Amino acid sequence: MSTSDAGMATGRGASRADAESSKRRDIIDGARRVFFDKGFDGASMDEVAKTAGVSKATIYAYFSGKAELFEALVHNDRMRSAESLFIVDASITDVDGLLRRIGTSFMTMMVQPDHIRLLRMVMGAAEKFPRIGRTFYDAGPCHGGQRLAQLLHEQAELGRLQLDDELAAAHVFFNICQGNIVKALLFSDAPTPTLAQIEENVNRAVRVFLAAYGTGRPN
């Protein structure tokens, strides 16, 4: 095969891969609308196919069934949320401001009605399909904790925090930020908190966190 032929073959392969990736995204996007409208038990592959604009056979070419499709949706949703959570303005250099920015972003995401709906679906499906719960946990709380732990480690290296376990401290911070807000939304018809209420809760969490892990030195 000549160099030009090899290049063309590589280009065709890349095009096919892009097309398959796009088709997979279309299926997951369609599934997301159906799952969020009907719930895990109420969703059907026929309706997903119709919403995604593909045949049911096409869905089964990518996913073995409804549980695997929902698992892929959960993974994509959590990874996307975790990445957006850690987009931090480079001008924020103090640990106090960094924690407030991440805490507010985290809580704004946590209280969204769609997120609460996803939490309920995962909890309902996880008993029968444990991998769905594991996927949510790994791509959500675990991944988010690891990302925050890296940032906390950097702040400790700068002498702004005293940490014996960065990962444990990261989870402490996220848990303090949540307080009882997410539980109230999960298990009742509590109203979605306002940004002012979220910021008040996060400010409290930052004060508690810095009282435990701060050095008392100026940022």
Whole domain around residue 195: which residue ranges? Answer: 72-219
Q: How many structural domains is the chain composed of?
A: 2
Are residues 20 and 89 located together in one domain of the fold?
no
Are residues 159 and 185 located together in one domain of the fold?
yes
The residue written with tokens 């119709």 in the block is 50
Closest among 83, 84, 78 to 32, alpha carbons compared: 78
Indicate whether this model's pTM tops 0.75. Answer: yes
Closest among 120, 116, 122 to 182, alpha carbons compared: 116
Are residues 208 and 169 located together in one domain of the fold?
yes
Closest among 173, 179, 169, 175 to 201, alpha carbons compared: 179
Are residues 15 and 114 located together in one domain of the fold?
no
Q: Which two tokens stand for residue 109?
A: 């995401």
Are residues 20 and 83 located together in one domain of the fold?
no
Are residues 4 and 111 located together in one domain of the fold?
no
Q: Where are the alpha helices (DSSP H) in 56-194?
A: 56-62, 66-85, 95-110, 113-126, 130-137, 143-157, 166-178, 181-187
Q: Which two tokens stand for residue 153?
A: 């480690």
Q: Which residues, 6+ apart, have CB-to-CB distance to 61 below 8 Å?
A: none
Task: Using the 3D structure, point to which of 20, 36, 63 is the last residue of a domain.
Answer: 63
Are residues 82 and 36 located together in one domain of the fold?
no
User: Tens of pLDDT along the chain (219 residues)?
Assistant: 555 555 544 554 445 455 457 888 899 999 999 999 999 999 999 999 999 999 999 999 999 999 999 999 999 888 888 777 777 676 677 899 999 999 999 999 999 999 999 999 999 999 999 999 999 999 888 989 999 999 999 999 989 999 999 999 999 999 999 989 999 999 999 999 999 999 999 999 999 999 999 987 655
